[in-house]
């Protein structure tokens, strides 16, 4: 695993997802409070950007804007149809106000 700097925590808007492409990996990065969640920015049901969907703050989920599939931001597991396969998750940490992610 390689730890890579993504952005400043202040660059992320609370309760929304942002698309960040880094080292050939397309990520949907969501900020909930001081926690940051990174998942693959591709719905497992259809190749559509998850960063365009809504973040459900209370449930720590992200919605695919195309068909409404919901995914758990902590595990990547699908929470609703039409998605049945999980998405990749990546460990994100905040250090001194900077967001870092572990990439394979």
Instruction: Quote the number of domains for the chain.
Output: 1
Q: Tokens in use for 75? A: 């595990």
Task: Write down the pTM of the prediction.
Answer: 0.94
Alpha-carbon span 34 to 22, nearest angstrom = 21
Query: What's the half-sphere exposure (Cβ side, CA atoms, 13 Å) at 92?
Result: 29
Query: What's the half-sphere exposure (Cβ side, CA atoms, 13 Å) at 93?
Result: 7
CATH assignment of the domain containing 68: 2.102.10.10
Residue 18 has pLDDT above 90, yes or no: yes
Let me know: does 72 contact 79? Beta carbons within 8 Å: yes
pLDDT in tens, 47-102: 899 999 999 999 999 999 999 999 999 999 999 999 999 999 999 999 999 999 99
Q: Which residue range is the domain that position 40 belongs to?
A: 2-103
Let me know: does 38 contact 90? Beta carbons within 8 Å: yes
């Amino acid at each position: 695993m390689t730890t890579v700097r993504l952005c400043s925590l202040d660059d992320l808007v609370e309760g929304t997802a942002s698309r960040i492409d880094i080292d050939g990996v397309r990520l949907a990065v969501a900020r909930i409070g001081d926690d940051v969640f990174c998942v693959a920015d591709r719905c497992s049901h259809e190749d559509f950007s998850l960063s365009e969907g809504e973040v459900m703050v209370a449930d720590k989920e992200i919605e695919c804007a195309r068909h409404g599939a919901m995914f758990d931001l902590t595990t990547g597991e699908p929470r609703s149809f039409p998605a049945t396969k999980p998405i990749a998750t990546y460990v994100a940490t905040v250090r001194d106000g900077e967001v870092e992610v572990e990439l394979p």
